[in-house]
Amino acid sequence: MSELNIKEQLAHLNGEITGRLDQIEKGQREYSDQVKSELQALIGEHNEKASKLADNFGETQKQLDAIEIRFKELQKQGMSASKAAEKTIEQKFYEAMVAKKDEFSRMKNGHKVELDSKGLFTKAAGDMTFAASTTGQVGEETVLSILPQPERKNRVRNFLRQGVMTGELVRFPKDTGGEGTAANQTEGNAKSQLDRDLAAQSYDAQTIAAFLRISNQMLGDIAGISTYLSYELRRQLFNQEDSQLLTGDGTGTNLAGLAVNAADATDLGIVFKAGTEPYKWDAIAAAIAYLASQEFTANTILVNPIEYYEMMSAKGSNGQYVSPFYFDNGTGVATIFGMPISHTSAVAAGSFFVYDSMSEGQLFQREAPSVRFFEQDSDNVQKNLTTVRIEERLAHARFHDNAVFYDTFSDVISAITGEAS
């Protein structure tokens, strides 16, 4: 190949390369212009959307303002907050449908209708309160257990000697009297003879009981009801027990209470020099004196709470407290004339008991109070009921009737002074 041919080929190749480079440069310029054009179009579209959003925001704010005005108007007319909000939404929905009524008429030809939902489901902003912002019970609450009736603080059994028994009754022989007495002997003469009479005494165990029937739904749905029922049934049982231990007459199914054959004002036979204004504690002092005269030592005084605090707060004509009460802060026991005095609502107002707890008798427990639940009782299964029962068996054996003094304050004060309180 000649040198000339080589030069021609190189020139031709150089021309092709130059042409290709020009095409590449032209293509880059065209692509850059296209990208720039597309970017400007996107910016323009973004600005258009931003403008529309701003317009929509302004329109929404106008609708909110209109809703707030209507909302307040309805409230002024006496409508509740929740109902007023509901009414404004209904009205806006209606207005949107009216605005599109022409389009609704063309729906049969397949035309679609789009409602402008802006503002349809909004309400005026305001303070959140339970009345304005909630429906039903949405707040948390503190639910307490069942509030029962108050329990009697002092039960009568706590002031009696207690024991247990077996079998159905308590039996013991009791000295009921006799003839003859001990006497000094004259030398050569017969000694004095005496005898004693013994009589069998018996006290049957009596049952105190109660029951109630309750639906299984209540047992399952009310928190703490089983505990409450146990408490309430025990309270009712011990209330009856208190009554029996104080004033049961000992006949039939009744216990022999402290009041059975107890001494009273008619047994005193003494006159206290209590002054012109006798106090109720003078009646207590007379009862203590009587028991002492019968060889008993009074160690228990039971009164109603009213008399207890009335006596404790008594004042003389000079306005000073004159009560012979003494309260030991260490033991929490109040005493009068050196003997403990207690109050219980089981004692009737105006009455009082003074007795020797070691000599009056003893409380014997045959069966302790027990609460039981029974599903099988009567028609419980048919009616979804449960029977709850409480019962106990006990006897109160009385040893010495006259170891107890029981009467009213007015009767005793009248007997010892000739004046009623």
pLDDT in tens, 73-115: 656 665 555 555 555 555 665 566 656 666 656 655 666 656 5
Identify the CA nearest to 287 among candidates 258, 247, 255.
258
Integer Cα distance of 379 and 382 in angstroms: 5
Distance, in Å, from the CA atom of 118 to the CA atom of 124, rounded to the nearest integer, reads 13
The model's pTM is: 0.68
124 lies in the same domain as 166? no
Return the pLDDT at 88. Answer: 56
- Structural domains of the chain, count: 2
The three-point CA angle 248-206-156 to 5° equals: 50
Window from 29-38, 231-240, 375-384 with minimum mean pLDDT: 29-38
The reply to whether 116 and 189 lie within a common domain is no
The answer to the question of residue 149 being in a domain is no
Alpha-carbon torsion, ordered 171, 294, 160, 172, to 10 deg:
-10
Does residue 202 sit within a domain? yes
Percent of the chain with pLDDT over 70: 74
Is the domain of 24 the same as that of 167?
Answer: no
49: confidence class by pLDDT, cuts 50, 70, 90: confident
Residue 289 inside a domain? The answer is yes
Task: Please report the pLDDT score of residue 142 as a whole number.
Answer: 82
Residues 128 and 175 in one domain: no
Looking at the structure, tell me whether residues 184 and 215 fall in a common domain. yes
Task: Tell me how far apart the alpha carbons of residues 336 and 160 are, in angstroms, rounded to a whole number.
Answer: 19
pLDDT (tens digit per residue) in 215-267: 999 999 888 999 999 999 999 999 999 999 999 999 999 999 999 999 999 99
Residue 376 lies in a domain: yes
Asked if residue 161 and residue 129 are part of one domain, the reply reads no
Are 20 and 74 within one domain? yes
- Check residue 11 and give its pLDDT: 72
* Cβ neighbours, 10 Å, residue 149: 10
Same domain, 202 and 72: no
Greater confidence (37 vs 245) lies with: 245
More confident residue, 211 or 121: 211
Residue 149 tokens, joined = 């009736």
Residues 200 and 272 in one domain: yes
Which range marks the domain in which residue 31 is found?
3-133
| 30 has pLDDT over 60 | yes
Q: How confident is the model at residue 25 (pLDDT cuts 50, 70, 90)?
A: confident
| Band (140; pLDDT cuts 50, 70, 90) | confident
Secondary structure element (H or E) that encloses residue 214, with its range: strand 206-215
Q: How far apart are CA 348 and CA 329, in angstroms?
A: 27
Span of 122-126, 190-194, 349-353 with lowest mean pLDDT = 122-126
Position 170 in a domain: yes
Identify the helix (H) or strand (E) that includes residue 221.
Answer: helix 216-221
Secondary structure of 97-146 in HEC code, one letter for each residue: HHHCHHHHHCHHHCCCCCCCCCCCCCCCCCCCCHHHHCCCCCCCCCCCCC
Q: Is residue 138 part of a domain?
A: no
Element at 353 (helix H, strand E): strand 351-355
pLDDT at 421: 46
Handedness of CA 146, 149, 153, 156 (dihedral sign): negative
Q: What is the pLDDT of residues 164-193, one digit of tens each?
A: 999 999 999 999 999 999 999 999 999 999
Last residue of a domain, one of 133, 165, 186: 133
Q: Tell me, yes or no, whether 359 and 406 share the same domain.
A: yes
- Proportion of the chain above pLDDT 90, given as a percent: 55
Does the residue 219 lie in any domain? Answer: yes
pLDDT tops 60 at residue 362:
yes
Number of H helices, E strands in the chain: 10, 12
**End position of a domain, from candidates 98, 133, 168:** 133
Q: So what's the pLDDT on residue 44?
A: 75
pLDDT of residue 330: 87
- The verdict on 104 and 167 lying in the same domain is no
221 and 313 belong to one structural domain = yes
Distance CA 153, CA 112 (A): 81
Residue 144 within any structural domain of the chain: no
* Residues 117, 120: Cα–Cα separation, whole Å: 5
pLDDT at 82: 55
Residue 332: count of CB within 10 angstroms of its CB = 7
Q: Which of 30-44, 253-267, 345-359, 366-380 has the lowest mean pLDDT?
A: 30-44
Share the mean pLDDT of the chain. Answer: 84
Per-residue pLDDT at 59 exceeds 90: no
CATH at 398: 3.30.2400.10
